[in-house]
């Protein structure tokens, strides 16, 4: 259930690292806990994020949850499907495909050291199993 090729955070986000670019989304567990997602606020392309910053929010029917930058860097892309004004607006994609089509942003880092400190899939599995 938890992809082995991704990194994770304690805030139930995943990070796919390709060179100096990191794609960020929320995990299956996170979307399952939130329930039906109706809106995701993502930052504009060009925004500079500091690790730990709030970079957006996820609104579901039930609740609202902040998104935290898993790493520091510059936003170089966001998922158009999550932008309300876009023709392809489809926030429920985060429920149906959290690790693929429901990605949120791509962050470009200055150097590889910025990618350190994330959890591997085993550590994240343990986190989910512990119920936190």
Partner 1 sequence: MTTELLTPLSHIHEQAGARMVDFAGWKMPIQYTGVREEHEACRTHAGLFDLSHMAEIVVTGSQREEFVQKMVTNDLSKLAFGGAMYSCLCNNEGRIIDDLLAYRFETEIWIVANAGNRAAVWAWLTEHAKDFEVQLDDRTEAITLIAIQGPEAEPILQKLTSETLSNLDFYTARRGEVLGHDMLISRTGYTGEDGFELYLDNEHAEAVWNGLMKADDKLVPVGLAARDTLRLESGFALYGNELSMERSPYDVSLAWVTKLAKEPAPLVAEALEKAKEVATTCLVGLSMEGRNVPRAGYEVHQDGAKVGEVTSGTFSPTLKKGVALAIVERSVRAEGTELEIIVRGKPQTATVTKLPFVRGSVKRHS
Residue from 9, 23, 60, 79 in contact with partner 1 (CB under 8 A): 60
Q: Does 57 bind partner 1 (CB under 8 A)?
A: yes
User: Closest by alpha carbon to 103, among 14, 43, 10?
Assistant: 14
Q: Does 84 bind partner 1 (CB under 8 A)?
A: yes
Q: Does 110 bind partner 1 (CB under 8 A)?
A: no
Sheet holding 64-68, edge to edge: 37-41, 54-60, 64-68
Residue from 38, 45, 110, 123 in contact with partner 1 (CB under 8 A): 38
Cβ-contact 82, 94 below 8 angstroms: yes
**Residues forming the site for partner 1 (CB under 8 A):** 35-36, 38-39, 57, 59-64, 84, 91
């Amino acid at each position: 259930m938890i992809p082995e090729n991704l990194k994770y955070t304690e805030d139930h986000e995943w990070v796919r690292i390709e060179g100096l670019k990191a794609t960020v989304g929320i995990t299956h567990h996170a979307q399952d806990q939130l329930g039906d997602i109706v809106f995701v606020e993502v930052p504009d392309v060009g925004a500079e994020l500091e690790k730990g910053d709030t970079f957006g929010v996820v609104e579901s029917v039930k609740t609202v949850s902040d998104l935290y930058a898993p790493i520091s860097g510059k936003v170089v892309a966001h998922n158009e499907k999550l932008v309300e004004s876009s023709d392809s607006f489809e926030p429920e994609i985060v429920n149906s495909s959290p690790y693929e089509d429901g990605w949120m942003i791509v962050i470009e880092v200055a150097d590889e050291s910025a990618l350190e400190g994330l959890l591997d899939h085993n550590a994240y599995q343990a986190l989910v199993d512990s119920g936190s």
